[in-house]
Amino acid sequence: MCGILAVFGCIENSQSKRARIIELSRRLRHRGPDWSGLHCYQDCYLAHQRLAIVDPTSGDQPLYNEDKTIVVTVNGEIYNHEELRRNLTSHQFRTGSDCEVIAHLYEEYGENFVDMLDGMFSFVLLDTRDKSFIAARDAIGITPLYMGWGLDGSIWFASEMKALSDDCERFTVLLPGHIYSSKSGELKRWYNPPWYSERIPSTPYNPLVLREAFEKAVVKRLMTDVPFGVLLSGGLDSSLVAAVASRHLAETKAAMQWGSQLHTFCIGLKGSPDLKAAREVADYLGTVHHEFYFTVQEGIDAIEEVIYHIETYDVTTVRASTPMFLMSRKIKSLGVKMVLSGEGSDEIFGGYLYFHKAPNKEELHLETCRKIKALHLYDCLRANKATSAWGVEARVPFLDKDFLNTAMDIDPDWKMVRPDLGRIEKWVMRNAFDDDQNPYLPKHILYRQKEQFSDGVGYSWIDGLKEHANEHVTDAMLMHASFVYPENTPTTKEAYYYRSIFERFFPKNAARSTVPGGPSVACSSAKALEWDVAWSKNPDPSGRAAVGVHAAAYEEAPGSLPGANGAVSVDFSQKLEEGVIVAAVTAV
């Protein structure tokens, strides 16, 4: 990931202002430690902190068109840049950077080119010919982008709000799939797939079509000129990413540079069952596997730094970001700069355990739509900022635009949990990769039941956080929380503790308003509470509220799960026993 900062319409245009822009851009250097760039044009500034993944030698930013009248600063990856280049025959490219196509596409098509981009991105573009500018964000919000306004009438954009929170009177999240144009002064949505309207699809499930779409999504993300790997927790989603990447790695340019053996990474507290599962998958796939360990105290010690980097006080996001943050530092120490991760699958396929309670396919589909639209506030934010804190880029194949279109066009009846038909959560993905002739994964991994992420990192980890918060937040503090924090009032000591840290770093009202209120959407929602009143009785936003679902949602003998080809033995007691230590990098 890179860090971008852009400011337009500054009243002051002096050396001191330039120095201030450089100082603020430096706050994003963790995102891009490889090089810094700044373009000034009258009262406009575009700054960039680069993480060099594609074309490390000549792809420094900002980037330009031929006569440098178009200037662009980009955070992200454009996977179809070579195809786009071939169609821009009248343009001359200065670099091999995948992001340079943005300047030329704008010159060729104006503001209506964004939907042509296949990738994850946030960018700001200045047209010096009329001093107009645009800012856009990718379809789902994999990469972050904030928009702010100064008292002098200036407009600001930044990858993280720490670069604009001091100088802007107000700032907000620029919505995913949207573009801001200075010409109209409006923010409009450019991403308009059929599923976005939340209509109920009716396309029959075709496992081969789904499998091919996912394989293409993984393969295109192997575009890199630097060492990379896969975050592997041993659960379904990360294991599928690793299996496909390992199978196709030899076909890519990356294999010529770094070898055809995939590297995988996992972190956990010693004794973690997920560490064991990840090692089993890695051995099966033949990857070079790296295991990292941390203690509860090390995680607690990192909490303040984690909150500073992820810029949220959402409880489940803080819990899950900490091991990912710690592991990213270890990964960077090995010289690896890019990783593939499994975020997005649970939102697309209804993989969270409360989806077992979905009353019908219509309700299930509408909930998946809502969760995908909110990913930028939760899992995408976590995966991006926890890795970018150490100059590592996370790519998420499940959120590929084409794959999303395929997966969200399936009749949601196929996504319903149906024990009578042998279908557990995410059965459509499990079945698509259940190939007896050329197996991708062992069946007991392929049909391993979902573990809620915050619980997947271990009940001992969560209990340690709660105990630490109890030591720092008194009963009186929590009792008066509504007076101290009237907006998004914390309801637990753990939430109060995270909020107090966040407020020290980001004290403005605008900052706290970027964090959604209510129960974490990563685990439950108002709709889920309608499906099962039991959810409303548990204030903890973790998978513990789904224990009844986890082990008893199936009308099967204890310890077994219905798979596509019969029951697969699974020992749930090990997973659900209070005190079990589990820590994995990616959601299962």
Q: What is 162-194 written as a DSSP string?
A: GGTTTT-SEEEEPPTTEEEETTTTEEEE----G
476 part of a folded domain: yes
Considering its fold, how many domains does the chain have in total? Answer: 2
Last residue of a domain, one of 142, 163, 192: 192
From 2, 44, 369, 380, the catalytic residue:
2
What's the confidence (pLDDT) of residue 1?
Answer: 77
583 part of a folded domain: no
Catalytic-residue membership of 40: no
Last residue of a domain, one of 192, 227, 252: 192
Helix and strand numbers, DSSP H then E, in the chain: 24, 19
Sign of CA pseudo-dihedral 145, 369, 79, 71:
negative
What's the confidence (pLDDT) of residue 405?
Answer: 97
> Any idea what DSSP says for residue 410?
B
182 in the same domain as 207:
no
Q: Which two tokens stand for residue 221?
A: 């993300």
- Which CATH number fits the domain that encloses residue 361? 3.40.50.620
272 in the same domain as 150:
no
587 part of a folded domain: no
Q: Which two tokens stand for residue 227?
A: 């060492």
315-333 and 493-505 helices cross at what angle (nearest 10)? 60
104 in the same domain as 230:
no
374 in the same domain as 247:
yes
586 part of a folded domain: no
225 in the same domain as 168:
no
585 part of a folded domain: no
What's the confidence (pLDDT) of residue 272?
Answer: 81
35 in the same domain as 184:
yes
Distance CA 256, CA 282 (A): 21
397 in the same domain as 266:
yes
What's the confidence (pLDDT) of residue 395?
Answer: 98
245 in the same domain as 334:
yes
- Which CATH number fits the domain that encloses residue 20? 3.60.20.10
- Beta partners for residue 64, in sequence order: 71
Last residue of a domain, one of 162, 192, 222: 192
Amino acid present at 466: K
Record the pTM.
0.90
What's the confidence (pLDDT) of residue 57?
Answer: 86
Of all helices (H) and strands (E), which one includes residue 549? Answer: helix 547-552
Q: What is 484-546 written as a DSSP string?
A: H--SS---SHHHHHHHHHHHHH--SHHHHTTS--SS-TTT--HHHHHH-GGGGG--S-SGGGG
What's the confidence (pLDDT) of residue 334?
Answer: 96
Nearest to 223 by CA among 387, 381, 383, 76: 76
Task: Tell me the mean pLDDT per 10 residues along the chain, length 588.
Answer: 94 86 98 96 96 89 96 97 95 94 97 97 98 98 98 96 96 98 97 92 97 98 94 95 94 73 93 87 97 94 98 96 97 96 97 91 96 97 98 98 98 96 95 96 87 57 94 97 95 97 97 79 55 62 52 38 33 28 33
268 in the same domain as 138:
no
472 in the same domain as 339:
yes
Nearest to 352 by CA among 189, 531, 175: 531
Find tokens 């042998």 and name the residue.
Answer: 422
- Beta partners for residue 49, in sequence order: 3, 36
Phi, psi of 583 (to 5 degrees): -150, 120
- Domain residues for the domain of 162 are 3-192
232 in the same domain as 172:
no
Judged on CB neighbours under 10 Å (0-12, 13-18, 19+), 364 is: buried
588 part of a folded domain: no
Is 269 within 8 Å of 460 (Cβ atoms)? yes
512 part of a folded domain: yes
Is 28 within 8 Å of 52 (Cβ atoms)? no
Q: What share of the chain is helix, strand, coil (3-state, %, to 5)?
A: 45, 15, 40
449 in the same domain as 352:
yes
Residues recorded for the chain: 588
Sign of CA pseudo-dihedral 576, 577, 579, 582:
negative
What's the confidence (pLDDT) of residue 438?
Answer: 95
584 part of a folded domain: no
